[in-house]
């Protein structure tokens, strides 16, 4: 367990005693949002977040609103990026936390973390980033970026499902939380309960491998996505959603010019309408909606993501299928 703690810390430039093991990013997000809200209540009740966050953040914020929290949901532009002036304008004397995800799970759009962190520091407000999609794919150092709290999840970078971590800064500033779980002094009394040793070991190993392979994965997976997008841009009226400049290298969110039959494609390929987590719900993607897409455009939008086990042959078959459908 302690070796795994070092492996996780090592991946994000933290100290091992700043890492808390959790059951995944959902728990990390719940722990940090509810925990900070309770611990800093005397300072204020205002939290700033973004309309395109993962439901783990949005639903927790909704819950906190019922507990008298005031939440500001920042807008995004058509590229999926927040406006830093809007962030500055949203800050109040009662603001205790800025919660902005590192990379979006539906579009891969990466928010300007360094600038957000500088604004948070200037106003002495804590900065939490849900970096579940970012960690393991791209290099991130919590000290370089001035991130105070961060969530991550092993299954986003080839580790086991059901295990994640929460990073909580211990100095300059020291982040305090009220625990979600009570009943034992494990994890510095931040998360009671017997540790899930096999999964923790799996998370640690996944962090070690991710760190070693990060650059190679970036190079190889970028090539697959570039090939994919380059080919399908021949389809007239097709659009790539999200900032192509500030985007994870593995994600491609595409609006097709009209609906088409995806049944045959689904026999061979797995891709999703909206995010996997919410594709079971009938609601159109809140992320694309926030970016200004109309419902019919959202209905014709799909997320494709590429990984280190994909081959160029597979991507060629996928693009050929798509090209023949239009
Ligand atoms: N946050 C983001 C950005 C995600 O993509 C996910 C993915 O499922 C989560 C949170 C939830 O993570 P977990 O499934 O580990 O609870």
Q: Write the pLDDT tens digit of every residue in 267-323.
A: 999 998 855 555 566 688 999 999 999 999 999 999 999 999 999 999 999 999 999
Nearest CA to 73 among 56, 95, 53? 53
Q: Write the residue with the smallest CA distance to atom 12 of ligand 1.
A: 25
State if pTM tops 0.85: yes
Q: What are the tokens at 268?
A: 């061979």
Residues in the chain: 326
Q: How confident is the model at residue 54 (pLDDT cuts 50, 70, 90)?
A: very high
Least confident of 143-152, 229-238, 255-264: 255-264
pLDDT in tens, 12-35: 999 999 999 999 999 999 999 999
No. of helices (H) and no. of strands (E), the chain: 11, 10
Q: How far is the CA of 153 from the centre of ligand 1 (A)?
A: 7
pLDDT in tens, 196-217: 999 999 999 999 999 999 999 9
Q: How far is the CA of 6 from the centre of ligand 1 (A)?
A: 22
Report pLDDT for 242: 98
**Ligand 1 neighbours (beta carbon < 6 A):** 24-26, 54, 56, 101, 105, 130, 132-133, 153, 164, 277
- Helix, strand, or coil (residue 179): coil
Q: CB-based burial of residue 210 (10 Å sphere; 0-12 exposed, 13-18 middle, 19+ buried)?
A: buried
pLDDT in tens, 275-284: 555 556 668 8
Q: How far is the CA of 325 from the centre of ligand 1 (A)?
A: 32
Q: CB-based burial of residue 308 (10 Å sphere; 0-12 exposed, 13-18 middle, 19+ buried)?
A: middle
Q: Counting atoms of ligand 1 from 1, which one is nearest the CA of 105?
A: 5
Q: How far is the CA of 132 from the centre of ligand 1 (A)?
A: 6
Report pLDDT for 278: 57
Residue to substitute in 132, 140, 151, 160 for testing ligand 1 pocket (most ligand atoms within 8 angstroms of CB): 132
Whether 277 is catalytic: yes
Catalytic residue among 61, 149, 207, 277: 277
Measured CA to CA, the distance from residue 146 to residue 249 in angstroms comes to 23
């Amino acid at each position: 367990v302690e070796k795994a703690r070092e492996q996780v810390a090592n991946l994000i430039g933290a100290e091992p005693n700043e890492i808390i093991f959790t059951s995944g990013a959902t728990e990390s997000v719940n722990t940090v949002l509810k925990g900070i809200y309770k611990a800093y209540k005397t300072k204020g009740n205002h939290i700033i977040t973004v309309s395109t966050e993962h439901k783990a953040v949005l639903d927790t914020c909704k819950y906190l609103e019922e507990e008298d929290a005031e939440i500001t949901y920042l807008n995004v532009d058509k590229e999926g990026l927040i406006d830093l002036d809007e962030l500055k304008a949203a800050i109040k004397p009662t603001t205790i936390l800025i919660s902005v995800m590192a990379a979006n799970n539906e579009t891969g759009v990466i928010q300007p973390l360094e600038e957000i962190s500088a604004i948070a520091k200037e106003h002495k407000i804590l900065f939490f980033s849900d970096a579940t999609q970012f960690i393991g794919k791209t290099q991130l150092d919590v000290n370089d970026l001035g991130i105070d709290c961060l969530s991550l999840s092993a299954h986003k970078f080839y580790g086991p499902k059901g295990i994640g971590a929460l990073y909580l800064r211990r100095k300059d500033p020291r982040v305090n939380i009220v625990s979600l779980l009570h009943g034992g002094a494990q994890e510095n009394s931040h998360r009671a309960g017997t540790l899930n040793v096999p999964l923790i070991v799996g998370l640690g190993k996944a962090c070690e491998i991710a760190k070693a392979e990060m650059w190679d994965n970036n190079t190889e997976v970028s090539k697959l996505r570039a090939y994919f997008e380059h080919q399908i841009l021949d389809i007239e009226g097709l659009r790539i959603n999200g900032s192509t400049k500030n985007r994870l290298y593995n994600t491609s969110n595409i609006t097709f010019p009209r609906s088409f039959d995806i049944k045959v494609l689904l026999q061979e390929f797995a891709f999703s309408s909206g995010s996997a987590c919410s594709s079971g719900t009938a609601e159109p993607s809140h992320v694309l909606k926030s970016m200004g897409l109309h419902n019919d455009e959202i209905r014709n939008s799909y997320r494709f993501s590429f990984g280190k086990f994909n081959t160029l042959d597979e991507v060629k078959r996928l693009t050929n299928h798509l090209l023949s459908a239009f």
